[in-house]
Amino acid sequence: VESLNLSGRALVKLQQLEFLNYESRSSILQNALSVIWEHPLIGVGIGRDRIILAEMKNDMDNAFGNYAHNIVFEIWMQFGVILGTLFILIMLWIYLRPFFDKNVSAAARAVCLILIAVGLFPLLVSGSYFTRPQFFFALGACVAAVRRSGQQVAARDYIGNILRRGRGKALR
């Protein structure tokens, strides 16, 4: 359970089919929207969103955490709507580019798809991109897939190359 980054609370919600129920997150999302509405141009800054949400949280909230529970709201809170939307569009372009580049191998696309499922999709309903290294790992894998396009690389070699790069070893 710990290796999958799942909490006991998340497993209970999943078992009770309440994992996507926003009832417990509604106050956090409402607070996040009010912060976005108050600071639409420049946001509140990286990390400041958590402080503001903690101050806005009342004792009756049963929601867990002092973060937006949604990557779009989190980025808009931190960077503002204009810069945040630009950041989101660039991120989506990086994530989707391997699927539209005909030179990217099927193995690289498969690896990217799996890493996107693990690194990005959970951030739409919970978590923060700051605390999910899988988010950045998936971004790096998609960039690497495009940079290596045209080369036939097996999936296991592709992942091994990414891991070696992550340790600072240069590949030729």
Q: What is the pLDDT of residue 98?
A: 92
pLDDT tens-digit series, residues 14-63: 555 555 555 556 777 777 888 889 888 988 888 888 878 777 776 545 55
Rg (CA), the chain: 18
Cα dist from 26 to 20, 39, 61, 67, 143, whole Å: 12, 20, 10, 12, 35
Over range 5-19, report the average pLDDT.
54
pLDDT for the residue 93: 93
Half-sphere exposure of 105 (CA within 13 A, CB side): 18
pLDDT band at 172 (very low <50, low <70, confident <90, very high): very low
Specify the pLDDT at position 66: 76
pLDDT over threshold 70, residue 166: no
Model confidence pLDDT, tens digit, residues 94-141: 999 999 988 888 888 899 999 999 888 888 877 888 888 899 999 998
- Residue 68 confidence (pLDDT) above 80: no
Q: What are phi and psi of 16, to 5 degrees?
A: -85, 10
